[in-house]
Amino acid sequence: MSRSRFEDERRPLHSHAGRGPIAWGILLAIPLLTAACTESPAPREVATTVVFKHGKLFGDTTAFEGLLGQFEREHPGVRVRSESLPAASDAQHQFYAISLSARSAEFDVLALDVIWVAEFARAGWLRDLSALLPAAERAQFFSGPIEAVTWEGKPYALPWFMDAGVLYYRKDLLDKHGFVPPKTWPELARIAQAVRDKESGMHGFVWQGKQYEGLVCNALEYLWSNGGGAVDSDTIALNTAANREALAFVRSLLTSGVTPEFVTTLTEEPAREVFGRGAAVFLRNWPYAWQLFEQEGSAVRGKVGVSVLPHFPGQRSAATLGGWQLGVSKFSKHPQAAEQLVKFLTSSGAQRVLALAYGYNPPRHALYQDGELLAVQPHLRTLETVYAHARPRPVTPHYVRLSQILQAEFSAAVTGVKTPGEALASAQREARQRLP
């Protein structure tokens, strides 16, 4: 039997998510049954299974499975088993930290949050992927994700999709009440209040206020857009006037009612749902939400605008750089096949499919000139500029420890348990004591 017939006969059976032992049994039996009916000998190749771990996808998985099917057809003898983890970055980090420190070989390819590469590379958990990223290839990507995947001069992952905080607004309601999208945070608060007063049952502004990684991303955007931040010339510098003022503003969003108190329970998806059912004027979220707002049956379809995040008067807008990268575990038993999968899924073709199907923003510059993509996602033009200036969270192998301190203290300030000054002072003290 020729290799291509072998591939063709497997084609209808592609189904990656949750493929159980019975399905695998059927899949493996097919070539043998077919061989019995023909004169050619059965294929002797033993399939390599590459296990790909990643966060849960939002939306219909068909396009993603289609990509994995294409990879399998282009790489005879390699199969992909895709396994989802919970959406929250913190939960995924915990899974990987436990598995990889135990040198688990249960997965080969993993999707890494932009903040983990330094930590995982330093721990020796990732393969050096320099061969997949020669200089010419590296130049195709935005610099933010390239810096994030680089540890001591070498790439340990390839950028898969990119995130930056953006502001979603109800353009129908802003038009109706004579407003344009806000440039500053105080303007946002004023518009949210005014629209809420006229439209019953609306919240003003929702975002990610739960104590988790997403809160750090949100809070840093206020600090940065007031000229502050977490680190100044390699030193933790949290308890500054700019940061106190920015956090006081965040707290005032809740006390004034612009932001509902329940924001302190929201991660990305619940916040997206509040806005998506038409119950908020403004939302801070990542770019993926756009696709879901525009899908058929959405209560806000055609009514949503996307803009850069506001800033404090006299300062500049600052979006947190987020996004996911694909790496290969040092403990993989199939590193070559795993590297091929990483190369395939981070290729321009795969990133285009993910952008069209899921609104995942490509880290490759060229796709921001792609006519078909721009026709359905015109806001990509705005995003290209946002990405060029997006700010990384502190790049250090100790980031997760720093983040845990920030999560607790930012949360205390947002909920009013501490004043911004108290929260920032203890964050600074703890970070200086507990981080090397």
Residue ranges binding ligand GLC (CB under 6 A): 89, 113-115, 163, 213-214, 217, 268, 286, 322-324
How many degrees, rounded to 5, is the angle at CA 316 between CA 315 and CA 320?
A: 130
Instruction: Tell me which residue has its CB nearest to ligand GLC.
Output: 322
In the structure encoding, which two tokens stand for residue 250, read together? 């965040």
8 A C-beta contact, residue 329 and residue 244: no
Q: How far apart are CA 262 and CA 254, in angstroms?
A: 9
- Closest Cα to residue 322, out of 347, 285, 370? 285
C-beta of 224: minimal distance to ligand GLC in Å?
Answer: 15
C-beta of 60: minimal distance to ligand GLC in Å?
Answer: 19
Which one, 392 or 421, has the nearer CB to ligand GLC? Answer: 392
Which one, 52 or 331, has the nearer CB to ligand GLC? Answer: 52
Q: How far apart are CA 301 and CA 73, in angstroms?
A: 37
Which one, 213 or 430, has the nearer CB to ligand GLC? Answer: 213
Q: How far apart are CA 187 and CA 243, in angstroms?
A: 19
Which one, 78 or 149, has the nearer CB to ligand GLC? Answer: 149
In sign, the C-alpha dihedral spanning 72, 25, 354, 134 is negative
What H or E segment, with its residue span, contains residue 426? helix 420-434
- Closest Cα to residue 332, out of 27, 53, 25? 53
C-beta of 323: minimal distance to ligand GLC in Å?
Answer: 5
C-beta of 78: minimal distance to ligand GLC in Å?
Answer: 28
C-beta of 103: minimal distance to ligand GLC in Å?
Answer: 25
- Closest Cα to residue 361, out of 148, 149, 162? 162
C-beta of 288: minimal distance to ligand GLC in Å?
Answer: 8
Which one, 72 or 163, has the nearer CB to ligand GLC? Answer: 163
C-beta of 359: minimal distance to ligand GLC in Å?
Answer: 13
Which one, 117 or 242, has the nearer CB to ligand GLC? Answer: 117
C-beta of 321: minimal distance to ligand GLC in Å?
Answer: 7
Which one, 115 or 427, has the nearer CB to ligand GLC? Answer: 115
C-beta of 280: minimal distance to ligand GLC in Å?
Answer: 19
C-beta of 406: minimal distance to ligand GLC in Å?
Answer: 12
Which one, 59 or 77, has the nearer CB to ligand GLC? Answer: 59
Q: How far apart are CA 361 and CA 297, in angstroms?
A: 23
Which one, 50 or 318, has the nearer CB to ligand GLC? Answer: 318
In the structure encoding, which two tokens stand for residue 252, read together? 């005032």
C-beta of 286: minimal distance to ligand GLC in Å?
Answer: 5
DSSP of 89-131, one letter per residue?
HHHHHHHHHHHHHTT--S-SEEEEETTTHHHHHHHT-B---GG
- Closest Cα to residue 145, out of 295, 326, 372? 326
Which one, 75 or 391, has the nearer CB to ligand GLC? Answer: 391
Q: How many C-alpha atoms does 310 have within 13 Å on its Cβ side? A: 23
Q: How far apart are CA 253 and CA 185, in angstroms?
A: 10
8 A C-beta contact, residue 243 and residue 312: no
Q: How many C-alpha atoms does 427 have within 13 Å on its Cβ side? A: 31
C-beta of 163: minimal distance to ligand GLC in Å?
Answer: 4
Q: How far apart are CA 305 and CA 300, in angstroms?
A: 10
Amino acid at residue number 12: P
Which one, 82 or 89, has the nearer CB to ligand GLC? Answer: 89
Q: Helix crossing, 348-358 with 62-74: angle to 10°?
A: 160
Q: What is the largest CA-CA distance in the chain?
A: 81
Which one, 114 or 219, has the nearer CB to ligand GLC? Answer: 114
Residues for the chain: how many in total? Answer: 436
In the structure encoding, which two tokens stand for residue 49, read together? 């299974």
